[in-house]
Structure 1
């Protein structure tokens, strides 16, 4: 178990998996309620909702890895919660950038 000791269940991890689960549930509901035909966007290839979700998740992973490599995960703000406070990592900015790119992908690809 020591080989995976670094894999901590943190609040950002829980939020990520909760949002991923909700996204998959909503996309499943959309697929059943509103069947979709493939559409051609700026990539000039036919894509479905699932394709666009996959592209946005891969891009989010790349954005986060590049962010960690270039900027790091140093805290940018400390919320006054508890005795020591809760530090907000700069990685949340990468998450916001990833969400914005996902919106662009779903609208244009």
Structure 2
């Protein structure tokens, strides 16, 4: 997917029309691994709570080591939907670093 197609899909995700938003999400889901840096950039720039959750979901589904920092960063976020997508993304990544981050997160939250 070219950067232009990525931008078009992201534009669709931001539409108020639920079908267009879903279409954009589907386009990005299929090729998320090719655009992890673009997804992270879009995630960091996004202010809409729902879109941030969708973008973090896509970042996790990319299963790329490049996603590790943003996923770990959101393990202790105030927004529970971001936490759940960060956990899911780390589970999908399934690297030693991801498993270590999940272990620490679960250990710290078991005491709260």
Q: TM-score when scaled to structure 1? A: 0.23
Larger gyration radius, structure 1 or structure 2: 1
Query: In proportion to residue count, which structure has more helix?
Result: 2
Query: In proportion to residue count, which structure has more strand?
Result: 1
Which has the bigger relative contact order, CA under 8 A and spacing at least 6? 1
Q: TM-score when scaled to structure 2? A: 0.22
